[in-house]
Amino acid sequence: MTRYGIIILAVVAILCGPGCGMKSPEDERRLAEKAFKDALSGKDCAREDFLAAEELLMKAREAVNAKRYDEAKKLFLSAKEKAEKIAAYVRSHPDECDPKVKKEKVAQRTAGVDDGAISEETLSSKDPNMKFPVIHFEFNEYAVREEDKPLLKIMAEWMVNFPAAAIRVEGHADERGSIDYNMSLGERRAQEVRDELMKLGVDAKRFQIVSYGEERPIASGQNEDAWFQNRRAEFVRVN
């Protein structure tokens, strides 16, 4: 009996290595925490993965506290994997994740789009034939961007100055994503624009809303500049 007992102990020791199941997984913890630190810049642009990694890390620490070391080890490994994925995403998507690059990019294309004809300076809300501004949106977003609010202010002034005018707000999406969902995105964009104008004192009755989804792009090409131009709300006078 004792001989068998020794053999079993020996086998367990060989299989597990020192401290198997009995020691806190410090190496795994260190690696996971380092990977998580490297993934911090993905907090916004890879938000869901980031939240998942954060949760895994939290659960792993809880497991350590409860001395469930095997479970903790697995959780640290998953957290590390998730964090590495986020870091890889951040590297391959500087447009979205690097705040500096993102800001430059937005400035560039805003300048590109508004170049010439339509900008706050060139619009006159006293001109009955004012060329209406075009409002642009971020990917998968329908909130009006701060930089477009001055354009809406002029549009509202124009509508106050010309109270007989009825306006159709046409919402559009870029070609990415489903045709079905993009029809709603276009609608929400047009609605948000209308709601902003209502806040500025324009009567809701003067608006019609229509979404064309991704069916009516104004720029061709499969790049962010074209997509940005296509994610838009336009004003059309209907009377």
Partner 1 sequence: MGLHFKYAVMFALLTALCGGTAHAQLKGEVRDGALVAYAIAAPAFVHSGDTTGELARALTETLRRDLDLTGYFQVLDERSFIEAPTVPVDKVNFKNWLTVGAKGLVKATLTGTDPIELEMQAFDVAGGKSILHKKYKASAKAIRKAPHGFVRDLVQALAGIRLKFLSSRIAFVEKEAKTYKLMVADFDGADATAVVTSDKILTLPGWSADGTHLFYTAYTTGEPHLYAVDIKSRKVSLVSDHPGLNTSASAAPDGKNIALRLSKDGNAEIYLMNLASKALTRLTSNIAIDTAPSFSPDGKEIAFVSNRSGNPHIYRLFVNDPARVERLTDQGKYNQDPDYAPDGRYIAFTGRDEFFMFDIFLFDLQARTISRVTQKQGKNENPSFSPDGALMVFSSDRTGKNGIWVTNLAGDRQRKIYGGTGEAITPSWSPEVTITQ
Query: Using CB under 8 A, which residues numbered 47 to 106 contact partner 1?
Result: 47-48, 85, 88-89, 92-93
Cα within 13 Å of Cα(111), Cβ side: 6
Q: Which of 185, 193, 197, 233 binds partner 1 (CB under 8 A)?
A: 185
Q: How far apart are CA 24 and CA 73, in angstroms?
A: 8
For partner 1, which is the closer residue by CB, 77 or 183? 183
The burial of 6, by beta-carbon neighbours within 10 Å (0-12 exposed, 13-18 middle, 19 or more buried), is given as exposed
Q: What is the closest distance, in whole angstroms, from the C-beta atom of residue 96 to partner 1 in the complex? A: 10
| Smallest distance, partner 1 to C-beta of residue 73, A | 23
| Minimum gap (Å) between residue 113 Cβ and partner 1 | 22
> Torsion angle of alpha carbons 22, 27, 30, 31, nearest 10°?
-130
Contacts of 141 (CB under 8 A, 6+ apart): none
Nearest distance from C-beta of residue 22 to partner 1, angstroms? 33
What residues numbered 199-218 form the site for partner 1, per CB under 8 A?
A: 209-213, 215
CA atoms of 236 and 102, how far apart (whole Å): 31
Binding footprint of partner 1 on the chain (CB under 8 A): 47-48, 85, 88-89, 92-93, 140, 176-181, 183-185, 187-188, 191, 209-213, 215
